[in-house]
């Protein structure tokens, strides 16, 4: 995806900032800051969120944001005294303003596919294609892709885009945000912005301005029905697929709206795709309860993604490195990564495969693991740290002797 504003273009695929077609040199963190602000331009982004997004693996302070912001302003010619692009909202954060257009040209899609090849998932893709076919026949469908971080949920969903475009339709994406900072209904606000009709723009403004998310039941129903109607009208004009990414981070309001959409749109060519981690990871929360209800509605439309097998990892290694791995190297890659495509790509990018298999996981893998472990309670992380020296499988009674805690308490934490 590339984002254009005035004579600038921010290319997420190639990680380049260009002005009038000429490359503008920016540091990686500065690029990430600009990209995050542009992607979330419909709202004010708190500085805390920027730190988490741009420096996920480093402990930094507000000064790092200020320095990166100064560099970003210099790169796009945006003086702080009279900003054209990046607005500082006192006490709240930063907001990217001004018209922005999004594009995914064919050359970019080809380059992205070459740089980050997609392998496997044949059965899941076949089932998704069948659901798309049913949706295009006039039956609104919901499909959920469930799996661990990095397993390829979003990539699998996005493989439907060419099939939808061939039918004259399109895939639009709304992403949920982990942690604090996003307003209620944020993924649907993004979807409405991309629909870009008069009705969608009015509804987008209502959501972004926080109009009645906690209002009376009648007001909520009117808002929900208006959004469902806008999606139905768009699907009536051309087949529509809506990807709601990272639903495990959705607010309860968004999940309620999702339930309303999939049950009320009716006979329109609409396919709603959702990606989420296992709902058990947030058991007890409002979000988990809403997702459990969504999953229980139709288990046949829930697709669980597992790790790639050895043959698929070998295919990925050939695509990334240009050389076929030996059976022994492919087996070690499977053992080291568990078939997780994200981890496998980091390993393959870090060093030649035979060398990578002898060394510790590359920093990209370690950073991803640290990030996702950060959402676990401290007692659980402590127990996993001790269990790690025992190997991938361990007996609870051994961990009990190591920690001095009863087995029942350990199992409660680990679950």
pLDDT tens digit at each of 415 positions of the chain:
788 998 899 988 778 899 988 889 888 889 999 999 998 887 888 888 888 888 876 777 788 889 999 999 999 999 988 899 999 988 889 999 878 887 654 444 444 444 567 888 889 999 998 888 888 887 778 899 999 888 999 999 998 888 888 888 889 999 887 655 567 888 998 899 888 788 888 898 888 776 555 555 677 888 899 999 999 999 888 889 999 999 888 888 888 899 889 888 878 889 999 998 875 444 445 556 666 666 666 656 888 999 999 999 999 988 888 888 888 888 988 888 889 998 888 888 766 655 555 556 666 667 767 777 777 788 888 888 888 888 878 888 898 898 888 888 888 877 7
Phi, psi of 256 (to 5 degrees): -65, -40
Size (the chain), residues: 415
C-alpha to C-alpha distance for 287 and 140, rounded to whole angstroms: 23
pLDDT tens digits, 29-72? 899 999 999 988 878 888 888 888 888 767 777 888 899 999 99
H-state helical runs in 285-406: 286-297, 310-321, 327-337, 341-350, 353-356, 363-373, 378-387, 396-403
Give CA–CA dist 266/147, Å, rounded: 29
Distance, CA of 225 to CA of 199 (rounded, Å): 12
- Mean pLDDT, rounded, of the chain: 82
pTM for this one?
A: 0.65
Alpha-carbon distance 76 to 18, whole Å? 9
Residue 52: the pLDDT is: 81
The strands making up 101-103's β-sheet, listed across from edge to edge, are: 22-24, 16-19, 8-11, 2-5, 101-103
Calpha distance 46→90 (Å, rounded): 10
For 260-316, what is each residue's pLDDT tens digit? 898 888 788 899 999 988 754 444 455 566 666 666 666 568 889 999 999 999 999
Contact predicate 15/26, CB 8 Å: no
Distances, alpha carbon 140 to alpha carbons 29, 137, 274, in Å: 41, 9, 14
pLDDT at 200: 87
Q: How far is CA 367 from CA 55, 151, 371, in A?
A: 11, 16, 6
Half-sphere CA count of 374, side-chain side, radius 13 A: 13
Dihedral sign for Cα atoms in the order 224, 288, 187, 164: negative
Residues 347 and 297: their CA atoms lie apart, in Å, by 39
Q: So what's the pLDDT on residue 63?
A: 86
Q: Output the pLDDT for position 40.
A: 84
**Measuring CA to CA, which residue among 188, 225, 182 is closest to residue 204?**
188
Q: Would you state the structure tokens that stand for residue 250, as one six-digit string?
A: 């959705």
């Amino acid at each position: 995806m590339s984002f254009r504003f005035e004579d600038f273009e921010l290319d997420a695929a190639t990680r380049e900032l260009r002005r009038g077609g000429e490359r503008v040199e920016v540091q990686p963190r500065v690029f990430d800051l600009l990209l995050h602000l542009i992607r979330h331009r419909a709202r004010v982004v708190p500085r805390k969120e920027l730190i988490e997004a741009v420096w996920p693996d480093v402990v930094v302070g507000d000064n790092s944001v200020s320095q990166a912001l100064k560099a970003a302003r210099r790169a796009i010619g945006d003086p702080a005294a009279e900003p054209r692009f990046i607005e500082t909202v006192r006490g709240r954060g930063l907001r990217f303003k001004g018209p922005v257009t999004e594009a995914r040209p064919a050359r970019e899609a080809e380059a992205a596919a070459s740089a980050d090849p997609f392998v496997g998932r044949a059965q899941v893709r076949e089932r998704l294609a069948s659901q798309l076919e049913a949706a295009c026949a006039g039956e609104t469908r919901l499909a959920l892709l469930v799996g661990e971080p990095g397993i390829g949920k979003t990539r699998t969903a996005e493989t439907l885009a060419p099939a939808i475009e061939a039918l004259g339709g399109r895939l639009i994406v709304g992403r949920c945000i982990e942690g604090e900072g996003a307003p209620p209904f944020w993924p649907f606000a993004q979807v409405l912005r991309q629909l870009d009709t008069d009705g969608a723009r009015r509804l987008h403004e209502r959501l972004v301005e926080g109009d009645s998310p906690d209002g009376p039941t009648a007001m909520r129903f009117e808002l929900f029905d208006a959004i469902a109607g806008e999606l139905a009208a768009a699907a009536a004009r051309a087949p529509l697929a809506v990807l709601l990414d990272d639903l495990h981070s959705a607010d309860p309001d968004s999940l309620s709206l999702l339930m309303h959409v999939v049950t009320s749109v009716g006979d329109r060519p609409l396919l709603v795709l959702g990606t989420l981690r296992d709902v058990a990871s947030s058991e007890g929360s409002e979000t988990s309860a809403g997702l459990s209800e969504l999953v229980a509605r139709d288990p046949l439309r829930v697709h669980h993604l597992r790790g790639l097998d050895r043959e698929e990892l070998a295919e990925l290694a050939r695509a990334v490195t240009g050389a076929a791995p030996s059976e022994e190297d492919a087996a070690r890659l499977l053992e080291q990564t568990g078939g997780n495509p994200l981890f496998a790509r980091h390993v393959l990018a870090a060093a030649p495969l035979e060398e990578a298999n002898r060394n510790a996981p590359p920093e990209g893998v370690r950073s991803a693991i640290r990030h996702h472990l950060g959402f676990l309670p401290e007692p659980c992380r402590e127990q996993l740290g001790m269990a790690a020296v025992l190997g991938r499988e361990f007996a609870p009674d051994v961990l009990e002797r190591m920690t001095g805690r009863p087995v029942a308490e350990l199992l409660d934490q680990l679950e």
